[in-house]
Amino acid sequence: MTIDWSWIGDHTDDLTSLTVSHLQAALTAVFFGLLISLPLAVVAHRVRPLRGFLLGLSNVLFTIPSIAIFVLLLPISGLTRTTTVIGLTVYTLVVLLRNTVEGLDSVPAKTKEAAKAMGTRPLRTLLTVEFPLALPVIMAASGSPRSCRSRWCPSPPTSATAASASSSPTASSATSRPR
């Protein structure tokens, strides 16, 4: 079997239009998923009894096979792009909702208290303090602050790394200098 690489060059217009169509559907679904999951995550974070219900509901929706979602949506929205976007939006909810709740939980309580002490209102605290600090965890794939491996959310140093840092020559020379 040989690969005819000229087929790609002959069908560039088709490939480009299909790629753009795919990106439009996926980005639209993520946008609507964010519009739905961010307020639900704030509610789940602040009202603890609803947390289990909302996270459980998003998990149940995620377990529904895509063909079943499409069959359920066909009488409502027909065989259109809307059906695709609704199905993809349902699947984004489990990841976005869980990660946003985890991210909001990772914001230190003292930071929120400091914002409150400065006189910021709850909505402003949420938008200017909590969401920016929660963003690295929200963006992490697993939703756990312990597993974030990017430079934006470094893991806290363990006692072993702290001990090795204090025993390094640069650390010891910096602490032994006379003042």
Reported as a single tens digit per residue, the pLDDT across 90-111 is: 999 999 999 999 999 999 999 9
User: What is the distance between the alpha carbons of residues 60 and 89, in angstroms, rounded to a whole number?
Assistant: 14
User: What is the distance between the alpha carbons of residues 99 and 141, in angstroms, rounded to a whole number?
Assistant: 8
Q: Say how many C-beta atoms besides its own lie within 10 A of residue 92's C-beta.
A: 20
| pTM of full prediction above 0.75 | no
Would you give the distance in Å from CA 93 to the centre of its chain? Answer: 10
The residue type found at 13 is: D
User: What is the distance between the alpha carbons of residues 8 and 10, in angstroms, rounded to a whole number?
Assistant: 5
Q: Around 10, how many Cα atoms within 13 Å sit in the side-chain half-sphere?
A: 4
145-179 pLDDT tens trace: 444 444 444 444 444 444 444 444 444 444 444 44
